[in-house]
């Protein structure tokens, strides 16, 4: 007999249990080849004012988060972080990068960097849309 349980705040162990099944299924089709990355930007005093993170796997680099504090924007830091991520992707043998953003974040930023919009989901909070981009080398 099985039971279906709703967990409002699942433990890491609970989530890990079904993640292992998911990973095992995927390994039958593709290698376990995930390589997390992160680059940060810090002031001379060591305060982190921005960064980028994500994972490279199966031939693509996936950007999870990119952020630059408001006081530091407009200085090319975001562009430089994306350039570093692209260089890492190429170094790891990836053939492209995927990223998604919301309309209140930075869709124009990714378009200026040569990313192609491949999808859009409407119906988020207020009238925000989630936009998916890709860039192939």
Which range of residues forms the domain containing residue 62?
33-136
Domain count across the chain:
1
In this structure, are strands 60-68 and 96-102 parallel, antiparallel, or unpaired? parallel
Asked, for residue 88, whether it belongs to a domain, the answer is: yes
Cα 71 to the center of its chain, rounded Å: 23
Asked, for residue 129, whether it belongs to a domain, the answer is: yes
CATH of the domain at 69: 3.40.630.30
User: Tens of pLDDT along 39-61?
Assistant: 999 999 999 999 999 999 999 99
Asked, for residue 86, whether it belongs to a domain, the answer is: yes
Asked, for residue 15, whether it belongs to a domain, the answer is: no
Low-confidence residues of the chain: pLDDT under 50:
none
Instruction: Write out the H or E segment, with its range, that includes residue 77.
Output: helix 77-91
């Amino acid at each position: 007999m099985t039971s279906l349980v709703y967990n409002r705040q699942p433990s890491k162990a609970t989530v890990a249990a079904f993640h292992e099944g998911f990973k095992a299924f995927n390994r039958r089709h593709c290698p376990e080849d995930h390589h997390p990355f992160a680059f940060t930007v810090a002031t001379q005093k060591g305060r982190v004012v921005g960064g980028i993170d994500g994972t490279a796997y199966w031939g693509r680099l996936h950007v999870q988060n990119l952020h630059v504090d408001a006081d530091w924007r407009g200085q090319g830091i975001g562009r430089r972080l994306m350039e570093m991520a692209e260089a890492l992707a190429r170094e790891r043998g990836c053939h492209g990068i995927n990223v998604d953003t919301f309309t209140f974040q930075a869709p124009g930023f990714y378009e200026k960097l040569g990313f192609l919009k491949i999808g859009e989901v409407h119906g988020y909070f207020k009238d925000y849309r989630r936009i998916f981009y890709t860039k192939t080398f």
